[in-house]
Structure 1
Amino acid sequence: MIGPSQKRSLIWAMVHVAGIAGLVALATTARVQGQEDAGQVAETASEAFALNCFSPFMTAARAAEVLEAPGVRVDFYDLDPFSDAAPSPVTGRAATTGTDRRCEVAFDGEYGDFAASAAVAGLEAEGIRTEAPIPDRYRPTEGTALLGARQLNPRRVAVVHVGTRPGPNGIETFLLVERLMPIAP
């Protein structure tokens, strides 16, 4: 038989263990929820990129409407639109030399292979299938999951780069397509 002081100690120990178990369960739930949220952001951003960034009629206003979402960073410019839309100036990173358009999304986490699959699906959906040489200024980086160039028309090439890189909150996944300046006839 245990005495009253031993009983109190045993009860305190059980409460303490239960409390720790509860904290571990809470932390695990929060981590899983965070991973689910991050996965949802990755899915939403990758799908939005695939559905919109290959469209020749994308504008900065449209990019803000369909690409921007909580947890998604967007970089878009179009200095020479295919439509009668006004040019969209460079507002994010400096324009890549030799390009007149960039459509990029980035988000926290390592989802390079998933994002690459979405980008390929977007190219297919737009009917952009003809491969082109990748210009020398584009190089794979450590986290590259996809780097390729596609012929848009006889004078235009687009370069698609998808992968992971250091971001503002750790590793981020990025999907970008840049349209090169027209090739002289």
Structure 2
Amino acid sequence: MIAACATTLCLTASLAAGSAVAQDADAVGRAFADHCFSPHLTAETAQARIGPSGARVDFYDLRPFSDAAPSPVVGRPMTAGTDRRCEVAFDGHAPVKALNWLRTGIEQEGLLHKEADVPEGFAPQDGMSFIAAAQLNPNRIAVIQVGVRGPADAPETFINVERLTPLNEVSK
């Protein structure tokens, strides 16, 4: 009986570990491209639309464009000077795939040729593969990033877009 219980525990642990590894970088990337640039996304809709991809979602929107209630910061600390973040992360080292999905999202949103200077405070960090900025409208810039973080034996790839507060408010 003890052997049967030990086997069951080992099988359960194996299945649980397997589910964490079963994340599909393409499914997560597609979810990012299709949803993270939407100004109508809320924390609730981000979980509903992006969560099924297997992504870990970090989302806040303190100043929604729609009449939706603000979505507070609940994940990593808020980046100074931003009022919105949509980030997906998944297990593994796949920055090239992540960058391709980021490009897909930029293209889908018509931001391909709307480059902007990356603002101070967004310098590349360890593990970052890509950082750029796009002009959303005359007063708004989005910073987009791809990178890999965490220990070498358990890396996590991330893709994010952070919307800066309006330019005329930053200068006040």
Same fold (TM over 0.5): yes
1:111 counterpart = 2:94: yes
Are the equivalent residues in 1 in contact too, given 2:133–2:144 (CA < 8 A)? yes
Residue 140 of structure 1 aligns to a residue whose secondary structure is coil
* CA distance in structure 1 between the aligned counterparts of 2:23 and 2:44, rounded to whole angstroms: 24
Secondary structure of the 2:100 match is: helix
Secondary structure at 2:77's aligned position in 1?
Answer: coil
Q: Secondary structure at the match of 1:86?
A: coil
Instruction: Provide the residue aligned with 1:126 in structure 2.
Output: 109
Determine if contact 1:104/1:174 at 8 Å carries over to the other structure.
yes
Shift of 1:146: 1.8
Instruction: Tell me if structure 1 keeps the 8 A contact 2:83–2:163.
Output: yes
Structure 2: segments with no counterpart, 5+ residues:
1-16
Q: What residue identity is the alignment partner of 2:30?
A: E
1:78 aligned onto 2:78: no
Task: In structure 1, list runs of 5 or more residues that go unmatched.
Answer: 1-33
Matched-pair contact (CA < 8 Å) for 1:128–1:150: yes
Assess if the C-alpha contact under 8 Å between 1:46 and 1:119 holds in 2.
yes
Counterpart selection for 2:37 from 54, 65, 74? 54
Aligned-pair CA distance for 1:52: 0.4
Q: Distance in 2 between matches of 1:136 and 1:184?
A: 16
Asked if structure 1 preserves the Cα contact closer than 8 Å seen for 2:28 and 2:88, the reply is: yes
Cα distance per residue 1:133-166 (max 9 Å; x no partner): 1012112233222210000000000000001111
Deviation per CA, 1:55-101: give whole Å up to 9, x if none: 11111111010111374211000000011111101111111000000
Q: Does 1:140 align with 2:89?
A: no
Q: Which has the larger radius of gyration?
A: 1
Q: Is the Cα–Cα contact under 8 Å of residues 79 and 88 in structure 1 kept in the other structure?
A: yes
Q: Find the aligned partners of 2:123 and 2:73 in 1 and give their Cα distance.
A: 22
Whole-angstrom CA distance in 2 between matches of 1:52 and 1:70: 12
Structure-2 residue corresponding to 1:92: 75
8 A contact 2:59–2:85 mirrored in 1: yes
Contact 1:148-1:161 at 8 Å conserved across structures: yes
> Are 1:42 and 1:111, in contact at CA under 8 Å, matched by a contact in 2?
yes
4+ runs of 1 displaced by more than 3 Å? Answer: 37-40
Matched with 1:26 is none
Identity of aligned residues (%): 49
Kindly provide the amino acid, as one letter, of the partner of residue 38 in structure 2: S
Task: State whether residues 71 and 108 of structure 1, in contact with CA within 8 Å, keep that contact through their aligned partners in structure 2.
Answer: no
